[in-house]
A and B are shown apart, each in its own frame.
Chain A
């Protein structure tokens, strides 16, 4: 792994965090391509991205908690229910080929880009404080 690859990974990591802090969009959308750039396969990159999300959401939740912006009961319900969905997602992801998964991920990125562009044109109160 070269120094420039590490530098790009660090930069993309920081950019992913900025994205999370500014727009409430999780960092995974940039973690996965950064990890692909470091040489991981699509599935390994996705699994590793989920682990990388943890420090980001802990830091983000900590910040939001200070402003009283966390509804803990709702978060616990959504989070607990998500575990069932996660199991299904892992099953589907591991049954798809890496190439198909990678193209699906690229389509997701284009969708998020469209969402951000739309948000830029239609600023909402929550865009300003997310």
Chain B
């Protein structure tokens, strides 16, 4: 039942913002279920596969919205390489510095979005 609720919330969040929803699913799995921390990310990724597929199909069926396959490949394929690189080399990277760096990057992009 808790898993169903997590799915409902994550799905809404995912389609509304065009994101996977892992930022919600991972902590909710850890807090609300007996799934151990080390399994939460992997389980979240597998769930997001279904969520993102459903979102893509439903948006594509929505006449007014375009799903651009070429652009999706342009950012999605390097990201797949980045994901593999990230999991492989994380033991050797200063994760703390990196997360602060990413936080700064996100703040910068958010400001760019908020500018008129």
Q: Give me the interface of A with B, judged by CB distance under 8 Å.
A: 6, 9-36, 38, 40, 43-61, 63-65, 67, 69-72, 74-90, 92-94, 102-110, 112-117, 119-120, 123-130
Contact partners of B112 in chain A: CB under 8 A: 33
Contacting B79 at CB < 8 Å: which of A52, A67, A107, A110?
A52
Interface of B is mostly: helix
Report the bound CA distance from A60 to B20 in whole Å.
13
User: Closest CB-CB distance, B89 to chain A, in whole Å?
Assistant: 9
Taking a contact as CB atoms closer than 8 A, the residue among A51, A102, A114 that contacts B72 in the complex is A51
Of B66, B84, B107, B111, the contact of A44 (CB 8 Å cutoff): B66
Q: A16-B75, A58-B49, A69-B38 are in contact. Are A87 and B106 (CB under 8 A)?
A: no
A18, A58, A105: the one contacting B82 at CB < 8 Å is: A18
Q: How many residues of B contact A (CB 8 A)?
A: 95
5 extra interchain contacts, Cβ-Cβ under 8 A, other than A24-B45, A43-B64? A13-B74, A47-B55, A106-B110, A125-B37, A130-B41
Which of B71-116 touch A at CB < 8 Å? 71-88, 90, 93, 95-100, 102-107, 109-114
The reply to whether A82 and B8 contact each other, CB–CB distance below 8 Å, is yes
CB-defined contacts of B85 to chain A, threshold 8 Å = 14, 17-18, 21
The residue in B38, B93, B99, B100 that gathers the most chain A C-beta atoms within 10 A of its C-beta is: B99
Q: Given the complex of chains A and B, what is the CA–CA distance between A90 and B59 in angstroms?
A: 7
B-side interface residues toward A, CB under 8 Å? 3-23, 25-26, 29-30, 33, 35, 37-56, 58-60, 62, 64-69, 71-88, 90, 93, 95-100, 102-107, 109-114
A-B pairs under 8 A by CB, number: 403
Q: Which of A84, A90, A120, A130 contacts B62 (CB 8 A)?
A: A90
Q: Are A109 and B106 interface neighbours, CB within 8 A?
A: yes
**Nearest residue, chain B, Cβ from A87:** B58
Contacts of B80 in A (CB 8 A): 17, 55-56, 58-59
Chain B nearest CB: distance from A89 CB in Å? 3
Complex alpha-carbon distance, A40 and B107, angstroms: 21
Give bound CA distance, A72 to B12, whole Å: 21
Q: In the assembled complex, which residues on chain B have CB atoms less than 8 Å from the CB atom of A25?
A: 22-23
Complex CA–CA separation, A93 to B30 (angstroms):
28
CB distance from A54 to the nearest CB of B (A): 5
